[in-house]
Amino acid sequence: MIEAVLFDFNGVLVDDEPQHCEALRRVLASEDIVLSREEYYAHYLGLDDRTGFVEAYRRAHRTLTTDVIKRLIETKSRIYQQLIEQSLTMVSGAAEFVRDAGERYRLGIVSGALRHEIDLVLSHTTIADRFEIIVAAGDVQRSKPDPGAYLAAHAAFNRKRPIAARACVVIEDSLPGLAAARAAGMPCVMLTTSHPADTLRQRGAALVWDSLTGHTAAELAAL
């Protein structure tokens, strides 16, 4: 029986992947590394900032030190926040779905985004108080597709009230997120925001939805 819903953040609750893409592209451009939007959505979607920069430097055959990666992450975060302040859009149906789910289930966010970025975005929404737990970048050593973030969310729920991992359903939009959820033993609902439905089903999605619009939390009970 499903008792909790864990939402990915970027691309599932808030439509800010364009801002993340633009911020990453600007920072890499300042380092003489070119990243196209197509490359971002094909290879970087779902990665936390640290993993994304490591991947970009690896592809560019460049060396990345600890001091440099810290500077890059801080710079990207500043640019992202500026872009968010200019324009912020919730994913269609997300606010309504969260409110509906909160009537039935415990709710959490599991994201590779920085915690202060999540807090900033949530402060501009009507759903900030709906989440019992938030696991963000920095809360775990390894990001998605490693299951660590979802296992950390399960442990956080358990500290408040026991719950089985399989009783937590995940809602994701990236392949690394899907892999992480499955590795944590949690059924995963995938949105076709960035990948075709057939690919998501082949990768083991429990359900595949075009969007959250038109769906209710009651549909998760069957999982």
Across the chain, the runs of DSSP E, i.e. the strands, are 4-7, 106-114, 133-137, 168-172, 188-191, 207-209
Could you give the CA distance from residue 43 to residue 177 in angstroms, rounded to a whole number? 13
In 3D space, the residue among 71, 70, 65, 87 whose CA is nearest the CA of residue 20 turns out to be 87
Query: Which tens digit of pLDDT belongs to each residue from 100-136?
Result: 999 999 999 999 999 999 999 999 899 999 999 999 9
> Which residue matches tokens 């979607």?
45
| 16 pLDDT above the threshold of 90 | no
Q: Contact at 8 Å (CB) between 25 and 37? A: yes
Verdict on whether the full-model pTM lies above 0.75: yes
Could you give the CA distance from residue 220 to residue 223 in angstroms, rounded to a whole number? 6
In this predicted structure, what is the pLDDT of residue 45?
A: 86
* 214 CB-contact burial (10 Å; exposed 0-12 / middle 13-18 / buried 19+): exposed
Instruction: Please state, in angstroms and as integers, the Cα–Cα distance from residue 192 to each residue in 75, 121, 145, 210, following that order.
Output: 30, 22, 18, 5
Q: Which domains does the chain have, with CATH numbers?
A: 4-15+89-222 (3.40.50.1000), 17-86 (1.10.150.240)
84-113 mean pLDDT: 94
In this predicted structure, what is the pLDDT of residue 139?
A: 95
Work out the mean pLDDT of the chain and round it to a whole number: 95
Tokens of 135: 């696991």
Could you give the CA distance from residue 156 to residue 128 in angstroms, rounded to a whole number? 18
Query: Which tens digit of pLDDT belongs to each residue from 153-181?
Result: 999 999 999 999 999 999 999 999 999 99
183-191 mean pLDDT: 98
